[in-house]
Chain A
Amino acid sequence: MKGQYLPLNMISPGRKVKLVAVRGGQGIRRRLNDMGLNIGAEFRIVHSHFSGPCIIAVDNTRLVLGRGMSQKILVEET
């Protein structure tokens, strides 16, 4: 649903999303930033398990996010 902010691990695979916010300290935000996931970054979910790590496609890269991470990343479906 557009307009809603959801944690990443709740989005089904195949969807495209935009990163809206990160719930977490500097460490997590920086790490994500470094990998290209800044606020406003758009990416696609390749793989997602509710309780496990998930794979996303940003640009031409695939990133794996640990399970703790995907819960803390808030996105909006595009």
Chain B
Amino acid sequence: MRKELTIALAGNPNSGKTTLFNNLTGARQHVGNYPGVTVEKKEGTLKYRDYKIKVVDLPGTYSLTAYSIDEIVTRNFVTEEKPDVVIDVIDASNLERNLYLATQFMELGVPLILALNMSDVAKKQGTKIDKNRLSELLGVPIVSTVATKKIGMSELLDEVVSLAEAKIESEKIVMNYGKEIREELKKLEEVLKKDKPLIEKYHSRWLAIKLLESDAEVIKKAEKSSSSEEILGAVEKSITHLKGIFNDEPDAIIADKRYGFISGACSEAVSRNYETRHTTSDKIDKVLVNRIVGLPIFLGLMWLVFRFTFKVSEPLMGWVEVMQESLGNMFGGILPDGSAIQSLVVDGIIGGVGSVLIFVPIIFLLFLAMAVLEDSGYMARAAFIMDRLMHKIGLHGRSFIPMLLGFGCNLPAIMATRTIEDRKDRLVTILVNPFISCGARLPVYTLFIGAFFSERIAGNVLFSLYVLGMIVAIVMAKIFRRFLFRGPASPFVMELPPYRMPTIKGLFIHMWERGAVYLKKAGTVIFVGCVLIWFLSSFPWHPQYSKDYNTLIEQAQENEELVSKLENEKAFEKMEKSYAGRIGRTIAPVFRPLGFDDWKMSVGLIGGFIAKEIVVGTLGTLHSVGEADEESKTLRQALQNQKHSDGSRMYSPLVAYSLMVFVLLYMPCVAVIAVIKRETNSWRWPIFTAVYTTAIAWIVAFVIYQGGTLLGLGGLLK
């Protein structure tokens, strides 16, 4: 029978941890979420000798404080799930900084192995590491690896197995914090021992250290303890005592001692022979990060990314549409004509699945482009360049990429906010992203601009909509930052990894990771939504028609034109009398102050909840135009001729603009709502987004319409 092991991979960001993880698990990976948080949980499996090993890729962290979710998740995993072995992946060319995290794992008392990764870079750099001596000094086994070349993998696994099999607790080196701190730690441990369950779960020494460091999470645990008063009292005493001696906070001293320990070990086991030379990365950076040239280069690159994505995805999207049609025809032929089941399969399901698949090429390509930018190291520079501008809005440099992606599709844009570390910044970026006009809303603009605005100003009108979207996004970001998510901007310290050549395998894995998630989750939601809309607009199946259409159509058999006209009329009436139609009519009055009191438009807008492209198709059906798309002349004419009950024209340029503003700003499609739920891990934010965006849409459209009417712009602009 196979024995099972669980190991965890930890380490600094950019230490090569992910490459190592990919080496070990290959395609056998699975991405999920840690419960209650938005941190990704990556797991994979492999078989080695006679073990089945589960590998968990913990988030990249520099430390194990309680300041960031990544760190908390990492240390919780290690203390609660108690993996058999923890591998700390160390960037050998940055030894001392990377060892800082290692010392904290040592404090936690977990079975630890150091993977001295990037040892090729270190060698090239002139750093010589005496692995065995270092291992002796630190009290931890060390394996040399070069993950990018797959060197050291089996040695690493051998060490894992030995460590896991060694049931005896090896003699661990206890770090020397100096006499004074050691004494206070002893005192605290004595008090902590009174809470047995707490000690059993966590190392008493680790708890004591964390309490002296005023670690927020550990303090919370102490507060919940049965001996909380005693513990917290002792902690306060110790901290005050130490402050008096050192004239500094205990946590600073402890950090100092850690570095001292590391320095000591390194001075014995590591010899350095390098001067700071200009590496290639620095040379590239001189240009790319340059104050004058950097920004235009960045914008140019972004433009390229977009062109690439949209150009290449167009033919692919065409294929999807063709496939959709042929499937539709096939099933349409098999299933009984005019039956509910045929409609469900062809319109509801194939139509539904089609609208999901349509997104797939664009999303995967965007993710591929992002993977290239990230893996090569450029993304960090981009965040740096945009930081100044973003700061003025109250956001982070990293918020820029999601905003940019939003012009294509809000879905991958919101998923891209994962690179933003600060929770508040991330939330604000997510909440304002829907105002960036996505590609799916374009058909609606094209239709209405074409119908109600002269060609001369058409381009400007379109541009004004996009700009309006951005302005609203910026204003709301500022408001959120000021009132809802107050707080100082998180200290911006970020590592600029050296430029490197992305590997095809890495790119593909990164692209697939994000794309697959979209497919799985959003796909189910869009699919269900489409079926729902189909249901609402198709039932009652046999409404009370005003004419006996069936008979009339039979009679008119020869006359194709008449048959077509009758069928359109029948479809129109069916939709008018369907549930969706009734809902549309109930909602329509809400839009009267915005200038349009049109049940057909309301139904269209409801369709827009599911996917914005549906709006135009729905309008086409309701105006009895059969196959309608945004270029359709007849649909334009139908809209132009639409009248109120009193006979006056419904739509004027002003009304059309007010409508488009509403479409621009109102609730994003269901897929986006679903993704917001996933990324924020609660229903609160997606619901809030749906409500507030629609409210803002209504208010702004109202202001525009009423303001415009007051200013007498009603008939202008044609």
* A interface residues, Cβ below 8 angstroms from B: 16, 24, 26-36, 38-39, 44, 46-47, 49, 52-53, 55, 57-69
Contacts and interface: CB of A to CB of B under 8 A. Distances in A.
B495 A60 contact: no
29 contacts: A26-B214, A31-B67, A31-B493, A32-B493, A33-B63, A33-B252, A35-B495, A36-B97, A36-B100, A38-B255, A38-B256, A39-B256, A44-B276, A52-B388, A55-B285, A55-B384, A55-B496, A59-B93, A59-B95, A60-B94, A62-B285, A64-B493, A64-B494, A65-B493, A66-B387, A66-B493, A67-B492, A68-B489, A68-B492
Interface secondary structure of A, over-half rule: mixed
A69 to B, nearest CB: 6
A36 B96 contact: yes
A44 to B, nearest CB: 6
Given A26-B249, A59-B96, A68-B491, A46 B282 contact: yes
B259 interface: yes
Interface string B374-385: 000000100010
Contacts of B291: 49
Nearest to A59: B94
A27 B259 CA distance: 18
Given A27-B491, A47-B285, 10 more contacts: A26-B214, A30-B251, A34-B63, A35-B493, A61-B496, A62-B281, A63-B493, A63-B496, A65-B492, A69-B491
Given A31-B67, A57-B276, A60-B94, A38 B259 contact: yes
Contacts of A47: 285, 289
Interface string B37-66: 000000000000000000000000011010
A31 B259 CA distance: 15
A70 to B, nearest CB: 10
Contacts of A31: 67, 491, 493
B395 to A, nearest CB: 12
Contacts of A39: 252, 256
Contacts, number: 106
Nearest to A43: B276
B125 A53 contact: no
Contacts of B708: none
Nearest to A49: B291
B109 interface: no
B494 A28 contact: no
In this complex, which of B65, B391, B492 has the most chain A Cβ atoms within 10 angstroms of its Cβ? Answer: B492
Contact of A28 (B63, B65, B96, B491): B491
A36 B62 CA distance: 9
Contacts of B152: none
B498 interface: yes
A33 B249 contact: no
Contact of B491 (A16, A49, A59, A66): A66
A6 B20 CA distance: 42
Contacts of A16: 276
Interface of B: 62-63, 65, 67, 93-97, 100, 121, 125, 214, 249, 251-252, 255-256, 259, 276, 281-282, 285, 289, 291, 380, 384, 387-388, 391, 489, 491-498
Contacts of A30: 63, 65, 67, 251, 255
Given A30-B67, A38-B259, A53-B384, A61 B493 contact: no
A77 B121 CA distance: 29
A24 B488 CA distance: 12
In this complex, which of A28, A30, A63 has the most chain B Cβ atoms within 10 angstroms of its Cβ? Answer: A30
Contact of A46 (B96, B97, B285): B285
A55 B256 CA distance: 24
Contacts of B256: 38-39
B285 A35 contact: no
B496 A64 contact: yes
A34 B65 contact: yes
Contacts of A29: 252
A68 B95 CA distance: 28
Contacts of B282: 46, 57, 62
In this complex, which of B93, B125, B281, B289 has the most chain A Cβ atoms within 10 angstroms of its Cβ? Answer: B289
Nearest to A66: B492
- Please name the 9 residue pairs, one residue from A and one from B, whose CB atoms are nearest each other, closest first: A66-B492, A36-B97, A62-B496, A34-B62, A34-B63, A60-B93, A64-B494, A33-B255, A28-B491
Contacts of B95: 59
Contact of B100 (A27, A34, A53, A58): A34
A42 B94 CA distance: 14
A58 B493 contact: no
Nearest to B92: A60
A56 to B, nearest CB: 10
Nearest to B61: A34
A29 B281 CA distance: 28
A55 B255 contact: no
B124 to A, nearest CB: 11
A52 B259 CA distance: 30
A58 B67 CA distance: 23
Contacts of B494: 63-64
A73 to B, nearest CB: 10
Contacts of A68: 489, 491-492
A58 to B, nearest CB: 7
A49 B291 CA distance: 9
Contact of A62 (B63, B391, B495): B495
A1 to B, nearest CB: 21
